[in-house]
Amino acid sequence: MDFSKLNGLVAAVIQDAATREVLMVGFMNKEAFDKTLETGYATFFSRSRKKLWLKGESSGHRLVVKSIATDCDKDALLVKVDALGPGVCHNGYESCFYRQPKDGEWVAVDEQTYDPNAVYGGSH
Amino acid sequence: MDFSKLNGLVAAVIQDAATREVLMVGFMNKEAFDKTLETGYATFFSRSRKKLWLKGESSGHRLVVKSIATDCDKDALLVKVDALGPGVCHNGYESCFYRQPKDGEWVAVDEQTYDPNAVYGGSH
């Protein structure tokens, strides 16, 4: 993998292996990538917290890796997963991509699949 | 959109609207994003050439935008497209994500859908 283009990171697209829904985009450094391969659970590098982030660590909504692929210039990953739990988005949606533009605003077009306060206790 | 996290760029996941195949990941700056909305053709910022890049400009394989969505923290886009032409990858594949790990190497697991030399003349 070429981690040089994004300051040590590559973009990782997370796609539901069954429904083919794109769930989220995360970023992995070399360590997160190795951890993902080794454990079989998608692990990212949190840019805000500046540390490894096992997705689902607190919520239990882990992402079980079914397959992994890289692109032509090896600076992005496509990770197909089996998503444990009702959604990957900490705002309560199945996919983080729940908003579309409408009259110059981003508007939620999906339905929430769980109550984020019940899962994260409003502390995120 | 929040262009601040990746030095003025956001990651844009390109997904085939019909097959739901993830075709590529590109990056957009504000100008490329506006151009994409305005023209209806996916337009990126080329990090290597440091300029706007209308995908399909030379090959004719343009990406017609069918829908666009952003994620919870507005630093990534999911762009569903109708892909004109046999593939988006300049290496001759439908999707740029044609390689998977096998015995510690990245191995092509997809079939080529066109001859890149015939399209790009070997000049890329």
pLDDT in tens, B43-73: 999 998 999 999 999 889 999 999 999 999 9
Q: Residue-wise over B11-50: b if at least 16 C-beta within 10 A, else e?
A: bbbbbbbeeebbbbbbbbbeebbebbeeeebbbbbebeee
Residue type, position B87, single letter: G
Chain A residue with Cα closest to B11 = A11
The ipTM, to two decimals, is: 0.93
Residue A88 has pLDDT above 80, yes or no: yes
User: Hey, which residues does B16 pair with through a beta bridge?
Assistant: B81
- Would the CB atoms of B20 and A25 count as touching at under 8 Å? no
pLDDT in tens, B3-50: 998 889 999 999 999 999 999 999 999 999 999 999 999 999 999 899
Local confidence band at A122 (pLDDT 50, 70, 90 cut-offs) = low
- Would the CB atoms of A72 and B78 count as touching at under 8 Å? no
Considering only CA atoms, give the Rg of chain A.
15
User: Hey, which residues does A52 pair with through a beta bridge?
Assistant: A45
| Helical segments of A8-62, H only | 30-39
CA distances B71 to A48, A63, A98, B102, B110, Å, are 16, 18, 6, 32, 29
**Rounded to an integer, what is the distance from CA A94 to the centroid of its chain?**
11
Best residue in B23, B75, B97, B98 for a mutation probing chain A (most A CBs within 10 Å): B97
**Structural contact between residues A63 and A88, judged by C-beta atoms closer than 8 angstroms:** yes
pTM: 0.94
Q: What is the pLDDT of residue B120?
A: 82
Chain B segment 90-119 residues within 8 A of A by beta carbon are: 90-91, 93, 96-101, 106, 109
Residue labelled with tokens 């000049």:
B123
Residues 6+ apart with CB under 8 A from B39: B54
A76 in reach of chain B (CB within 8 A) = yes
Q: What is the pLDDT of residue B68?
A: 97
Closest CA to A84 of A35, A40, A37, A48: A40
Closest CA to B25 of B65, B66, B75, B79: B79
